[in-house]
Chains A and B, each alone.
Chain A
Amino acid sequence: MRAGLRTTVFVIASLAVAGMLLNRVAAPAWSAAREKQPALKLDSSMTAAGQGVTLALLGGFRALVADAAWMRMFARWEARDLPGVETLIHVVSAIDPRPAYFWMNGARIVAYDLPVWRIEAAGGFEAVTKPVQERIRREQAQQALRHIEAAMAFHPASADLWIERGSIELNKLGDLAAAAESFRRAWEQPHAPFYAARLHGELLRRQGKKTEALAWLIQLHPLQPPDPEEPKADVVLARIRALERDLGVPPARAFQPAR
């Protein structure tokens, strides 16, 4: 018995000492891996633990299992099963957080479909009062924004997620300032679509910040890509001219495009 205990202690101690030395050997590779994979440096231990278990048990099968769970979610969506859909949206993102597709479409369902289902379940649009409808919309929008917030831990440089966030803030919360900021953040991400920057300018204008909007559009104009459908159209210039008119900018001080 005592010999067994001695052997066990010796084995564990030897592994610990060897591990300490070997961890130093692998430290640069591990730091680089953590930098590249956001899931390995999540702030939330619970989320990270879930990810670790999923990765350990499913490995590369995560994609397949997540797809199967997403199809199951669609079946629940057709049946308008609100708790089932909500649960499966979270399950899919937990199983495989890598595709932004699951996060974005999950957030859309939460923000756009679930409020309608909740209102209908409460008696329909005729029976439910406007303030209650508004409260439900806000609750669902906030929930969708939390979902996108969680997605950003895994996709810190995704322009699509910032655009989705801006859309929900704009369409569901009517928060022009927050939406404008989200579209600006989207534009800062790599491979961001140009319309994100244009929407930021437009939302500045709608907030009454016309001077800021004009300055934004002027610095944006040289970056405008040609519209494949209407190559001669210059949407940004048209908006600049409209703002100049609104602000009473004299023709001599009006913006002169370089091209």
Chain B
Amino acid sequence: MNTVPFSLRRALLIAQNTLLEAARQKLLLFFLLLALGLVVGARWLRDFSFGAPELKFLADCGFGAMAFFGAALAIAATAQLFFSEIENRTALTLLAKPVWRAEFILGKFLGVVAVAAFFCALLTLLLMAVLRWREGELMREFPEAFAQGGVVSYGMVALGGLLQWLKLAVLVALSLLVASFAQTQLFTIVTGFFVFVICHLQYLAQDAYTRAGSWFAQNVGGGLASVFPNFQLFALADSLNAADAPPTAHVVRVALYAAGYCAVACALAVYCFRKREI
């Protein structure tokens, strides 16, 4: 029974510690180097681009690296940083002190979300730099094609990075929920990847069940679509053109959607973790 009130400061201290722990681990560095290498290297892969315009191809590679390695990082880091505390018995020491389990979960969540923010921010800035550099080269090479000025909207690139981060934050919260009752790190990682894929596909299940027409099928589809967040929502900024920018209200709605799922998944993780024997 906790005799001290809930403290956000203690949660932030745990988050800070989680962030430092993540920085010390090779996992972050590994994914970061892979993603950075790909974003910078995309410049030399452009000769293999047939279908998409070159700058769009570069942006696709950048966001591909952010989504793929970001998801791998979010799931693996959550599982590793959570289970390392349990396996090394530091969780026991920590929770023997006047620290709420809710503070522990919130701290872990904020710590990994901060790692994801650092990852997305760094990649977004690098992607912007690569795009700026190549756009400048193309403008000098083909001035007539850029008579109206630059074609890349850096606001859209930044928005794309922000939406990727929101998606990763939801994935971190869901991975933490799985970790809160899972017995092994491997189970958490594998389930996390399944959740990631399901969240990208859930809208299809809803469509299919809606088309089935029956009341039961529609409710099953609706239920599935409610349990798993829709990750396709976070692809609102899949363009380099400022004219394709989504309205601010839509971006705010997507941010609220992500925040809502994070809050609920974290609250449920606390609920499960409170029942868990450490």
Residues in chain A within 8 A of chain B (CB atoms):
3, 7, 10-12, 14-23, 25-26, 28-30, 32-33, 36-37, 40, 45, 48-49, 52-53, 55-64, 66-68, 70-71, 96, 98-99, 101-102
Whether A102 contacts B65 in the complex (CB less than 8 A), given A21-B260, A25-B256, A45-B208, comes out as no
* Complexed CA–CA distance, A66 and B56 (Å): 14
**CB-CB nearest in chain A for B267:** A14
Q: How far is the CA of A18 from the CA of B62 in the complex (A)?
A: 33
Q: Which A residues touch B254, using CB under 8 A?
A: 26, 29
CB atoms of A30 and B63 under 8 A apart: no
A52, B57: Cα distance in complex, Å: 20
Q: Please indicate which of the listed interface residues A29, A37, A53, A102 has the most CB atoms of chain B within 10 Å of its own CB.
A: A29
Which residues does chain A contribute within 8 Å of B227, judged by CB atoms?
12, 15-16, 19
Contact A64 B60 (CB under 8 A): yes
CB distance from A236 to the nearest CB of B (A): 27
Contact of B264 among A14, A32, A68, A101 (CB under 8 A): A14
Q: How far is the CB of A126 from chain B (nearest CB, A)?
A: 36
The secondary-structure label for the interface of chain A is helix
Cα distance A36–B235 in the bound complex, in angstroms = 11
**With A15-B264, A22-B261, A63-B61 given, is the CB distance from A99 to B275 under 8 Å?**
no
Give the size category of B's interface with A.
35 or more
- Looking at the assembled complex, report how far the CB atom of A39 sits from the nearest CB atom of chain B, in whole angstroms: 9
Across-interface contacts of B61 in A (CB, < 8 A): 60-61, 63-64
Shortest Cβ distance from residue A12 to the other chain B in the assembled complex, whole angstroms: 6
Closest to A60 in B: B64
What are 29 sample pairs from A and B whose C-beta atoms fall under 8 A apart? A7-B275, A11-B271, A14-B268, A15-B264, A15-B268, A16-B226, A18-B226, A18-B261, A19-B229, A22-B229, A25-B257, A26-B233, A26-B257, A29-B250, A30-B233, A33-B233, A40-B232, A52-B200, A56-B197, A56-B201, A56-B231, A59-B64, A60-B60, A61-B60, A63-B61, A67-B50, A68-B48, A101-B50, A102-B51
Q: Are B223 and A16 touching (Cβ within 8 A)?
A: yes
Asked if A28 contacts B201 (CB within 8 A), the reply is: no
Which residues of chain A come closer than 8 Å to B59, judged between CB atoms? 60
Q: In the complex, which residue of chain A has the Cβ closest to the Cβ of B259?
A: A22
What does the 1/0 interface line of B31-69 toward A look like (CB < 8 Å)? 000000000001001001111100011011111111110
Closest A residue to B70 by CB, please name it.
Answer: A59
Q: When A19-B229, A60-B63 are in contact, do A29 and B264 touch as well, CB less than 8 Å?
A: no
One of A10, A15, A20, A59 near B63 (C-beta < 8 A): A59
Q: Is the CB of A70 within 8 A of B50?
A: yes
Give, as a whole number of angstroms, the nearest-CB distance from A27 to chain B.
Answer: 8
B225 and A23 contact, CB distance less than 8 A: yes
Question: For B64, B211, B231, which residue has the most chain A Cβ atoms within 10 angstroms?
Answer: B64
In the assembled complex, the CB of A198 is this many whole angstroms from the nearest CB of chain B, namely 26
B65 partner residues in chain A, CB cutoff 8 A: 60-61
> Contacts A11-B272, A61-B68; is A22 near B236 (CB within 8 Å)?
no
B230 close to A (CB within 8 Å): yes
Q: Which of A11, A21, A37, A102 contacts B50 (CB 8 A)?
A: A102
A45 CA to B232 CA, complexed, in Å: 16
State the Cβ distance, A194 to closest chain B Cβ, in Å.
21
Contact (Cβ within 8 A) B60 A33: no
Contact of A71 among B42, B48, B66, B231 (CB under 8 A): B48
C-alpha spacing A223/B203, complex, angstroms: 44
Q: In this assembly, does B97 line the interface, its C-beta being within 8 Å of a C-beta of chain A?
A: no
Q: Are B225 and A26 in contact (CB under 8 A)?
A: no
Interface residue B150 (Cβ < 8 Å from any Cβ of A): no
Query: Nearest chain B CB to A179's CB is how many angstroms away?
Result: 26
Q: Which residues of A contact B52 (CB under 8 A)?
A: 63, 96, 98-99
State A127–B107 Cα separation when bound (angstroms).
Answer: 78
Q: A-B pairs with the 6 shortest C-beta distances?
A: A99-B51, A60-B64, A19-B226, A56-B200, A59-B67, A61-B64
Residue in B201, B226, B238, B256 whose CB lies within 8 Å of A37: B238
Cβ of A45 and Cβ of B207 under 8 Å apart?
Answer: yes
Q: Which residues of A contact B233 (CB under 8 A)?
A: 26, 29-30, 33
Contacts of B250 in A (CB 8 A): 28-29, 32
Q: Tell me the complex Cα distance, A63–B200, Å.
A: 18
Q: How far is the CA of A18 from the CA of B232 in the complex (A)?
A: 18
Q: Are B64 and A58 in contact (CB under 8 A)?
A: yes
